[in-house]
Chains A and B, each alone.
Chain A
Amino acid sequence: MTAQPPELEVSDLKVSFMARRGEVKAVDDVSFQVARGEIMGLAGESGCGKSTTGLAVMRLIKPPGKIKEGKVVFEGDTDVLSLAEEQLRLFRWKKVSMVFQGAMNSLNPVMTVGSQIAEAINAHERVGDKEVQERVARLLEQVGIDAPRARDYPHEFSGGMRQRAVIAMALALNPDLLIADEPTTALDVVVQKQILDLMIDMQRRLGLSMIFITHDLVALSEFSDKVSVMYAGRIVEVAATRDLYEEPLHPYTQGLLESLAGIATPGKKLWSIPGAPPDLASIPKGCRFRARCRYAFDRCAVEEPELLKVKDGRAVACHLVNR
């Protein structure tokens, strides 16, 4: 039990988007903590709000989206949501940085990779040219790219190398926390493993904390320290990785794990969760997973379950578990 405040503490976060059909509650009361040097997986399917959560932590939500409520506290003393413009600029990239979804395909095709990383440094710090070059070289080596390749253009890099370059950019100012949104989704499985290994390596060597946003529950199992599972804008279960996979408590997590081909028992059919997630503009009363849950009972239709602690490091939002 450390006396240090957690790297990041998010409380009661609510983010909504105003759309034609109403208010879409993308993130609806989300709270979690990331300890120092911890890799937390934020898992869920498309539309569950995991990417929006990541963007909210960086205060990158743009209209028609809006952070309606909540607190984001960094290292116990920085209230991210109330930072002034100038302080926010110092916060972003220096304390917390992000690898965006599809970033590897968004590199500027007419600038060398090295100059793009240099740009990230120069945008936040006043540094002499020579020093910038050195830092770029060191960053590239840190992510497993030979320094002379800084002079190449993105199209001369392979997919995996581009992703490494993007990670190098995110690490340019030595942040304490890295938010990675689906960093390996578009990569071949062998490259994916290499990137995941790289990220674990960085966690070890640099003491980096990470929020790893993904839909790939299986990849998380080999990689994260703890996992928060999101469904329809809320966190439904939090647990240390091994606990989650060995003994999932929330019916959604159970259903997800049982439907993965990777752990199918030969001869037995995969379990498939019936139905589909609710429309975030008209969330039903009670537990939002109720319509698809095989254990739903009367309380589930009336009262939305709270994310309650089950034991140290484990929490579930389910009436069945938290009786």
Chain B
Amino acid sequence: MSRSTGTPGTKRKRELGIVTFALDVWNHKRGRIGVLIVAFFVGLALFGPLISPYNPYAFVARPYLQPSVEHLLGTDGIGRDLLSQLLWGSRITLLIGFVVAVSVIIVGSAVGLAAAYYGGLIDELLMRFTDELMVLPSLPLMIWLATMLGQNMWNTILVLAIFGWPSMARMVRSETLSIKNRPFVDAARVSGAGDLSLMTRIILPNVAPLIVANGILSIIGAILGEASLSFLGLGDPFNMSWGTILYFAQIEGAFYNNGWAWILAPGLSIASIGMAITFIGTAITDIANPRLRSA
């Protein structure tokens, strides 16, 4: 009877939404810059420590050396090579940012999905709990928790994740609410799908774009949060992140000793990756809109 007039697709080739999406981000001006910067830092995190000239914790030269061939970024106030610190620090910073983001995604999505899907009492309980967490002053509490639990990278991750998931949960809940009443969800229910199946196989794939977009953005929150905690001295001194580098810079008085590289290197790195992720976020929002229009 009527052959499809849409784009032809062979039996095996599937149009992967994520591939077209990634290409769209790449073709977006700012998106491409963001992706390149992030890729650069990810590369640093992965391979940096391998090419790091020195042990970042070792005293290898006189303090406050200016950038030179042996020390491309100079040394800090204790005599440790700054470039090595930056390279090793990138791994810590990005690892923390990434793990926190993943935790926020998992916990936030689960809570948001369940609350929206079941509604009623479950929704009330979950959302009141979520709201409480959101309303509590996060920084003082994070400081307190960090102090109580001890200064250790995993505790930092835990603390950041605890305060990060509520906003994701709110968002996922609101998106799920609008999706769960769409006819195709009813259709799946009529086809016999059960609650769990409806939530994970039908609704979740439709919320996924929002989750991914916000998950990426939550990485900045995590990185900045970690930097704040470390800057206040609550970071893990044995796993120096960029924030920890800044902490040492501050307490050792780098500013007064002409240790400008000590401050700028980690500072600019944090700023650049933050900006890069914001660019990616802008690209995502711009791409999402024309999609809505053409739909």
Contact = CB atoms under 8 A, between A and B. Distances in A.
A276 B5 contact: yes
A279 B5 contact: yes
A274 B1 contact: yes
A279 B2 CA distance: 15
Contacts of A275: 2
Contacts of B2: 274-276
Interface in A265-313: 274-276, 279
Contacts of B5: 276, 279
Interface string A67-109: 0000000000000000000000000000000000000000000
Interface string A184-210: 000000000000000000000000000
Contacts of A279: 5
Interface residues of A, number: 4
Contacts of B1: 274
B123 to A, nearest CB: 28
A133 B2 CA distance: 56
B232 to A, nearest CB: 48
A134 B1 CA distance: 60
A45 B5 CA distance: 16
Nearest to A273: B2
Contacts of A274: 1-2
Nearest to B1: A274
Interface string B1-45: 110010000000000000000000000000000000000000000
Interface string B91-108: 000000000000000000
B8 to A, nearest CB: 13
A79 to B, nearest CB: 33
Nearest to A276: B5
A307 B147 CA distance: 84
A59 B2 CA distance: 37
Interface of B: 1-2, 5
5 contacts: A274-B1, A274-B2, A275-B2, A276-B2, A276-B5
Rank and list the top 6 A-B pairs by shortest CB-CB distance, nearest first.
Answer: A276-B5, A275-B2, A276-B2, A274-B2, A279-B5, A274-B1
